[in-house]
Amino acid sequence: MLTSHNVCSVPSSFQLTGIPGLESLHIWLSIPFGSMYLVAVVGNVTILAVVKVEHSLHQPMYFFLCMLAVIDLILSTSTMPKLLGIFWFGTRDIGLDACLAQMFLIHCFATVESGIFLAMAFDRYVAICNPLHHTTVLTHTVVGRLGLAALLRGVLYIGPLPLMIRLRLPLYKSRVISHSYCEHMAVVTLTCGDSRVNNVYGLSIGFLVLILDSTAIAASYVMIFRAVMGLATPEARLKTLGTCGSHICAILIFYVPIAVSSLIHRFGHQVPPPIHTLLANFYLLIPPILNPIVYAVRTKQIRERLLQILKIETKIK
């Protein structure tokens, strides 16, 4: 245990502060956070169930959507139960290994989700620019391999982060993490050793994932728009672009909160600490909440299947 902020030692556990500066409001904050988590779980489980039972949805785009649903469930569940425990019961302690595991899950599956969006952009590119070969190029096997590649990339990119902390930075000057979960930089700032390698590696991974993935997605959509503009009628153009609408919305829902949170973290030194933490939580909650809603509203097959299920339940009652 640490006895002083001036003494470096090896803690057996850390203390999460929840939303620093808003401790007196924790019980009230638990209401919106708990509600959002419930909506995220119900929405993503519903998407998985609908795609499973509706055979017409057994297509690459919907398989990728199921991957997104699983990832969103992991991301929200890796943080929200602990945060609600802090809000409701004041259970702030988290073991060192549990903290590093949480850090790995959060950053790994955020990286995996970015990879799935890139795979979905490739799917839309093939479907629109080379439609005759879509079924032969994106077979079920290829879709599975793309998902596995995204998962392996996440593990390879993020796996070294907790290992470097565990092996290179065993000593800490404090055990209080001013955050609601074990975010990489929040943990690294507590260490006593030289953390430059960790900082450089974290920034490099952020560049590779966010910048390169978003650039590749943007390039694919440039080619898609060129192909769409070559269609004969405005109706055909709108119909073709409509198949990309859900994907574009999901991309914006994922990348915009992360970009805003990162910019505020790096440059918003005048922004109060509670805002930093709230934004960091929102970018883990907003995509799991909105992705199922976007696809349910914009995708005809999913919307019709959900209405059928609701009608059946109403008749039974």
The 8-class DSSP code of residue 159 comes to T
Question: What whole-number distance in Å separates Cα of residue 317 and Cα of residue 313?
Answer: 6
Q: Is residue 112 part of a domain?
A: yes
- For residue 239, the domain's CATH number is 1.20.1070.10
- Beta bridge partners of residue 95, listed in sequence order: 13
Q: What is the 3-state secondary structure (H, E, C) of 40-83?
A: HHHHHHHHHHHHHHCHHHCCHHHHHHHHHHHHHHHHHHCCHHHH
Instruction: Indicate whether 1 pLDDT > 50.
Output: no
pLDDT at 261: 74
Domain count, the chain: 1
pLDDT at 38: 96
Q: What pairing do the DSSP bridges indicate for beta strands 13-16 and 93-95? A: antiparallel
Q: Is residue 70 part of a domain?
A: yes
Instruction: Indicate whether 4 pLDDT > 60.
Output: no
Mean pLDDT for the stretch of residues 182-194: 88
- Strand, helix or coil at 14? strand
pLDDT at 315: 57
Q: Over pLDDT 90: what percentage of the chain? A: 44
Region of poorest pLDDT, from 73-77, 85-89, 140-144, 168-172: 168-172
Q: How many residues can be counted in the chain?
A: 317
113: its two tokens: 């989700």
Question: What whole-number distance in Å separates Cα of residue 286 and Cα of residue 269?
Answer: 24
Q: Is residue 300 part of a domain?
A: yes
Q: Which domain holds residue 106?
A: 25-169+178-316
Whether 12 and 181 have beta carbons less than 8 Å apart is answered as no
Q: Is residue 11 part of a domain?
A: no
- Strand, helix or coil at 9? strand
Instruction: Indicate whether 317 pLDDT > 60.
Output: no
Q: Is residue 195 part of a domain?
A: yes
Q: Apex CA 183: angle with CA 250 and CA 84, to 5°?
A: 80
Q: Over pLDDT 70: what percentage of the chain? A: 93
Q: Is residue 106 part of a domain?
A: yes
pLDDT at 233: 73
Q: Is residue 49 part of a domain?
A: yes
Overall pTM surpassing 0.85 (yes/no): yes
- Going across the sheet that includes 176-177, the strands are 93-95, 13-16, 176-177
pLDDT at 312: 62
Nearby residues of 137 by Cβ (< 8 Å), 6 or more positions away: 126, 130
Region of poorest pLDDT, from 46-50, 70-74, 257-261: 257-261
Nearby residues of 216 by Cβ (< 8 Å), 6 or more positions away: 118, 121
Whether 281 and 78 have beta carbons less than 8 Å apart is answered as no
Question: What whole-number distance in Å separates Cα of residue 255 and Cα of residue 191?
Answer: 29
Instruction: Indicate whether 2 pLDDT > 60.
Output: no
Question: What whole-number distance in Å separates Cα of residue 177 and Cα of residue 95?
Answer: 12
DSSP assignments along 90-155, one per residue: ---EEEHHHHHHHHHHHHHHHHHHHHHHHHHHHHHHHHHHSGGGHHHHS-HHHHHHHHHHHHHHHH
Give 285-311 pLDDT, tens digit per residue.
999 999 998 888 777 778 777 777 766
The phi-psi region of residue 260 (left if phi > 0; otherwise alpha if psi is between -120 and 50; otherwise beta) is alpha
Q: Is residue 13 part of a domain?
A: no
Nearby residues of 213 by Cβ (< 8 Å), 6 or more positions away: 114, 115, 117, 118
Question: What whole-number distance in Å separates Cα of residue 94 and Cα of residue 17?
Answer: 11
- Give me the chain's average pLDDT, please: 87
Q: What pairing do the DSSP bridges indicate for beta strands 93-95 and 176-177? A: unpaired
CB atoms under 10 Å from CB of 215, counted, come to 10
Whether 138 and 160 have beta carbons less than 8 Å apart is answered as no
Higher pLDDT among residues 232 and 131, named by residue: 131
